[in-house]
Structure 1
């Protein structure tokens, strides 16, 4: 029924959040969005067009989103929707069984404004974050 187990999904989410927790900031945009795949790409500076992470959602069912945003480094970046959010999304979009509903935290929003329902999630790190050390 599900393409990934909830444990597999949570492991991917944990790896993404761990990577992003090592970054001071990250700007995101959708680089691909079609019936087969949604790709969120993150960059330290979107004007350079050099992405450091791609997050892929396979077989998406719906997306409710902003197109360009900054990650909120004070919050967990991505997680599964809670029960109340799932109920709301099911009422709006009639989400088919087999999809997970992901929510993405965004700078300047108290509650996550981005929701994506999809069967799978994966990611690719294109560049490790630079860790700067301050000298005194």
Structure 2
């Protein structure tokens, strides 16, 4: 097994565990999932940068590694740290206010989702082209001044 294959397997495991933790209701697990995704992204950048090369000191430029993926990895580390600090502040504020670490189900959102599912079943059932809500496009309006042939 080569080093690159080990890194790809580790990256896949980190991505899958991170997505699984992001889908949890606990805010702490969401934070851990986000951190795992950040580390998986850094491994992805490391794998995509190619094979290790010679240090950029010397007279020839043959075999020198491209420094751009390393700069991307440093940027990803800083962004992951900043967003993690923000998420940690949100978790702390949520804990101080409600003494709960879980995201609650909002009944209004559930009702809106239920209404949208009902509307998707029969979208043309209550369509009235003369009502102002359904007449959004001025080109689709039927006017009384139009000739009979165009109706």
TM superposition score normalised by structure 2: 0.25
Q: Which structure has the greater CA radius of gyration?
A: 2
Q: Which has the higher strand share?
A: 1
**Structure with the larger RCO, 1 or 2 (CA within 8 Å, 6+ apart):** 1
